[in-house]
Structure formats: structure tokens, C-alpha cells
Amino acid sequence: MVAKSKIINDINNVERLRKLVVVGYTLPTSAYIIFILLSYLLGYAKISNPIIPVLLFFIVSPQVIFTPYFFYVLFKEKRFGWLTLFIVLVILPATTAFIIFGVKLFMMIWMFVFVFPFFLFCFLIKFSVEEWIREYNWEQQLIEQRKEWEEKKKEGLL
């Protein structure tokens, strides 16, 4: 039985967030490595590079897809410090640069510069989310032990 927790409001959302954070910084890194290898091989074979739009999708999609869910979970869990860090580290620089420089930012070389803060945020929050889950599990164990102790006390075993 899961009791009401002071640490986490919805453990299922936090567990999903932990999985998404891992995907958020491993998938684009893998796509970048594949991009470098395929670009080298295609360049060596003197074949045009049709893979760039697909790899660009894999590199940028975690940011676009996971951002609303990050906001949802962090707001629901009342982790406003992490929300502020996400806005300052990821959203504010990208929107400011887009307003200043416009469409020129969509060149491939700039994509990695704007995706890096998202990777950094995912890396940093991963450890914090794991700590939240660890504290939640400890709290649930403590609640269960207290219930068992109360039951034994009522039965007269203690």
C-alpha cells in the first residue's frame, strides 16, 4: 500500500521523468556519433548526404518532445528551482538567440550549441530525480515499518 508522501506527489510521473532524462541525453549523443561516422563514410564514397535531416530530427526531438513533460512533472512536484534552471539554462538562451539571429541558427553547426544546455540539464537533474525516488522509497519503508510496529503493539506482541 502506498501512503501519501511529503517528498513526491506522483511516483509514476517521476519514474517516467527519470527514464526520459536518460533518453534525453543518450539518444542525441548516439545520433551525433552515428552522424559523424555516416558523414565520413558517405563523404569517402562521394555520395550526397541524405541522412542530415533524419539525424537533425533525432538530435533536436528530445528537447521539443520532453520539455512540456518536464514542465508538467516539475510543476506538479513543486520543484520550482529546477523549473527556473530549465528556463534559464535551456529556453531563455535559445529564444534570445533565435530572436537576435533568426533563421541563420538552423545551420547544422549551431544546433549542437543550442542542444548542449538541454543535455547538461538532463545530466544534472538525473541525479536529483534518483535522489527523490530514493527518499520516497525510504519514506514508504518507514511508514510500512511504523504500521507493522503499531499492529504488533495492538496485538500485545511488544
Max CA-CA distance within the chain? 83
Q: What is the pLDDT of residue 88?
A: 92
Question: pLDDT (tens digit, 9 = 90+) per residue, 46-80?
Answer: 666 666 666 666 667 777 778 888 888 888 888 89
Separate counts of helices (H) and strands (E) for the chain: 5, 0
Burial class (CB within 10 angstroms; exposed 0-12, middle 13-18, buried 19+) of 52: middle
Question: pLDDT (tens digit, 9 = 90+) per residue, 69-123?
Answer: 888 888 888 889 999 999 998 888 878 877 877 666 556 566 666 778 888 888 8
Q: What is the pLDDT of residue 80?
A: 92
For 29-47, what is the mean pLDDT? 68
Q: What is the pLDDT of residue 81?
A: 93
Domain boundaries, the chain: 11-127
Q: Could you give the percent of the chain with pLDDT greater than 70?
A: 66
Between helices 11-44 and 52-76, what is the axis angle to 10°?
170
Q: What is the pLDDT of residue 11?
A: 78
The predicted model scores a pTM of 0.69
- CA 63/CA 45 separation, integer angstroms: 33
For 128-140, what is the mean pLDDT? 88
